Amino acid sequence: MAETGASTLPPTRPPHSPVTRAERFVWLTARVLEQRLFAHRFRGAAADPVETALDAYRNDDGGYGHALDPDLRGPVSQPLHTAHALRVLDAVGRCAGQRVERMCRYLTSVSTADGALPLVHPSGRGYPTAPFVPVVADPPGDLLATGPVVGLLHRNEVWHAWLFRATDFCWQAVESLEKSHPHEIEAAVTFLDSVPDRPRAEAAADRLGRLVRAQGLVALDPDRLEAYPVSSGCAAGEHHFPYDFARTPRSLARAWFTDDEMSRSLDHLTARQQEDGGWPVRWRHWAPAPALEARSVVTIEALRTLSAYGRAIG
């Protein structure tokens, strides 16, 4: 009996490694979805429980709601929630099949006249939302919402009629960017990293890299943050670093930065892990629950980035 009881104990982990510290934070604070995602990504757990947890956020229209993106509260489906769901499915290798077909039908139903996605659909009116994602009656298509969705669908070789016009919208938006902000550039990179026309993507990425540096959208020296102004619309102290644009070494954005610049930014990311084991949310906090729920998402993303670059996380 003693042997049986011992087998139920959690495995011994290096007590002070980044992943062990983060694991404690996740078990203390995270939603079930992030608990399951953490276990899959860093502890070898199965993908099925992640999908099951994600199903709790799915609506009958094929979209996702219920504050899957913590900054949009309420039950209704939204493009940002559905983009979040696609990231989860991509992370567990399940971005295919009838589930994604239903998601594409939902995306079609909420697209703007130019075939793109609005940042927030008007159906969100009446529910709490972050002040930086206001609900308007007739929202335009937005690269911030459309780029990541199109990129993830291309990355997983999903083909649906919705993609044709949405891809054209992203090309037009990316290639016409003259003045931008970091979040929009990140969305553009997600699109460019996976869109099938690789020579065109490489040319567009090269231009964006020059734009990012010329407009000071990236903090290249974490030890001299006072030298880098925070972009308009960002929270106080919300700097963006090379790793924000190049989440993996395979990203086209990796070529924008020297080895030294990337290494310093990864050192900074490592040092940002807090006493409780989680990473901080850098954008504006507008309510306690969204900030706490977002921290586990940010924490998992930080560990994934460090791991992608070969940094020891434990």
Tell me what pLDDT residue 11 has.
56
DSSP 156: T
List beta partners, residue 58: 64
Amino acid at position 276, single letter: D
Tell me what pLDDT residue 13 has.
63
Q: Would you state the structure tokens that stand for residue 251, as one six-digit string? A: 């990203």
Tell me what pLDDT residue 232 has.
87
Q: pTM surpassing 0.85?
A: yes
Q: How far apart are CA 293 and CA 286, in angstroms?
A: 12
List beta partners, residue 141: 118
Alpha helices, DSSP H only, in 79-219?
A: 79-91, 97-110, 143-155, 161-175, 182-192, 198-214
Per-residue model confidence as pLDDT tens for the chain (314 residues) = 444 444 444 555 667 899 999 999 999 999 999 999 999 999 999 999 999 999 999 999 999 999 999 999 999 999 999 999 999 999 999 999 999 999 999 999 999 999 999 999 999 999 999 999 989 999 999 999 999 999 999 999 999 999 999 999 999 999 999 999 999 999 999 999 999 999 999 999 999 999 999 999 999 999 999 999 999 888 999 999 999 999 999 999 999 999 999 999 999 999 999 999 999 999 999 999 999 999 999 999 999 999 999 999 98
DSSP 297: H
Instruction: Please state, in angstroms and as integers, the Cα–Cα distance from residue 116 to each residue in 107, 164, 270, following that order.
Output: 9, 10, 36
| Axis-axis angle for helices 288-308, 18-29 (nearest 10) | 150
Tell me what pLDDT residue 170 has.
98
